[in-house]
Amino acid sequence: MSRPAFDPASYDAQLAEKKARLVELLAPFSAPEPEVFDSPREHYRLRAEFRLWREDGQRHYAMFAPGDKHTPILIDDFPIASLRINELMPRLRAAWQASETLSFKLFQVEFLTTLTGDALITLAYHRPLDAAWQAEAERLAAELNVSLVGRSRGQRLVIGRDYVEEELIVAGRSFRYRQPEGAFTQPNGAVCQKMLGWAYDVLGQRNDDLLELYCGNGNFTVPLATRVRKVLATEISKTSVNAALANLADNAVNNVELVRLSAEELTQALNEVRPFRRLAGIDLKSYEFGSVFVDPPRAGMDPDTCELTRRFERILYISCNPETLAANIAQLDDTHKVTRCALFDQFPYTHHMESGVLLERR
């Protein structure tokens, strides 16, 4: 992760450029004006990863420009990261500087925090972790009031929890989330909350069913399930599936069936191309799907999955890559039209854009 060009004074101009780019990409589809959801100007990023660099006999937090792994940018603080990360950085550095046990062959540090102030630190080593390390790490975790994970080849030692607990407010209701170490979570919590609110509003209250592809840890699943009769959700990552099941249980959401299938595999199942043991006990024909929700990876939906979504009256699509979003909309344009769109500034001071569209049958 390279250090963004942090310049709050330029934020509004950068956001306007992103909006213009999204408008241009969606112009061929006669999309309406995008709703724009801005980011806090600083302290918005809830996770950060640093390599450690030795200089003058001390280890320093370091980042590198893209393509250059030999010229470190040494860092004392990180203004785009959460206040909790900035508070922990100097205290953690002081701890490893005071302890050979903690610092020996330590090469990477990762911070995972939440809007509620929960924190987990991962320390990665080029050596086995022993009882002496465990004892020091337990003292450190208590001192910093964090959970801590130690990693080395073939080892993963957890002190406290291996996840953080987040709380997000959607339409006035509080939802709780477990966010596991090493799994994907939205890095900008304030904007994530706005994304959830937008999707909740756009879906509306419905009396039919929702299909969700690429559900991750249930970030969208949990609030959207309160808007429909029932949900069939899919996710391929076992870690994310386990987190999603915990999040559904923690929020007392009981109208979701979650299956560990890729979007491509579910497409094959719905097309009756082949059966899947992981769908045993799930009656696909019992669903009355009115809407499909997709939040695919940067590559977008593959052509077959895109064709699958064409069957639905409403396609609610969250995208982290507007180019592949536009390509998917082009495939669907003869049957569906864009009726709502939004820009979510998850990644200020970078060219990356998160966007959302509602496509409804013509």
Helix (H, G, I), strand (E, B) or coil at 177: strand
By C-alpha distance, which of 164, 214, 169 is closest to 324? 214
Residue-wise pLDDT tens digits, 23-40:
999 999 999 999 999 999
pTM confidence score: 0.93
Residue whose token pair is 């020996």: 104
Give the per-residue pLDDT at 56.
84
Give the per-residue pLDDT at 255.
97
Give the per-residue pLDDT at 273.
86
42 assigned to a ligand binding site: no
Give the per-residue pLDDT at 68.
86
Give the per-residue pLDDT at 271.
84
Q: Going residue by residue through the chain (362 aa), what tens digit of pLDDT does each one get?
A: 344 468 999 999 999 999 999 999 999 999 999 999 999 999 999 999 999 999 888 899 999 988 888 899 999 999 999 999 999 999 999 999 999 999 999 999 999 999 999 999 999 999 999 999 999 999 999 999 999 999 999 999 999 999 999 999 999 999 999 999 988 889 999 999 999 999 999 999 999 999 999 999 999 999 999 999 999 999 999 988 999 999 999 999 999 999 999 888 988 888 888 888 888 889 888 999 999 999 999 999 999 899 999 999 999 999 999 999 999 999 999 999 999 999 999 999 999 999 999 999 99
- 354 given a catalytic annotation: yes
Q: 320, 323, 341, 360: which is the annotated catalytic residue?
A: 320
By C-alpha distance, which of 343, 279, 273 is closest to 308? 273
Q: 42, 136, 265, 354: which is the annotated catalytic residue?
A: 354
- Domains of the chain listed by start with CATH number: 8-41+186-361 (3.40.50.150), 47-164 (2.40.50.1070)
186 assigned to a ligand binding site: yes
Distance, first Cα to last Cα, the chain: 42
56 assigned to a ligand binding site: no
| Cα–Cα separations (whole angstroms), residue 35 to 23, 134, 344, 350 | 11, 49, 9, 19
331 assigned to a ligand binding site: no
| Cα–Cα separations (whole angstroms), residue 281 to 208, 276, 292 | 21, 11, 22
Give the per-residue pLDDT at 2.
41
214 assigned to a ligand binding site: yes
| Cα–Cα separations (whole angstroms), residue 48 to 37, 63, 83, 86, 300 | 23, 10, 12, 10, 25
Give the per-residue pLDDT at 3.
44
Give the per-residue pLDDT at 1.
39
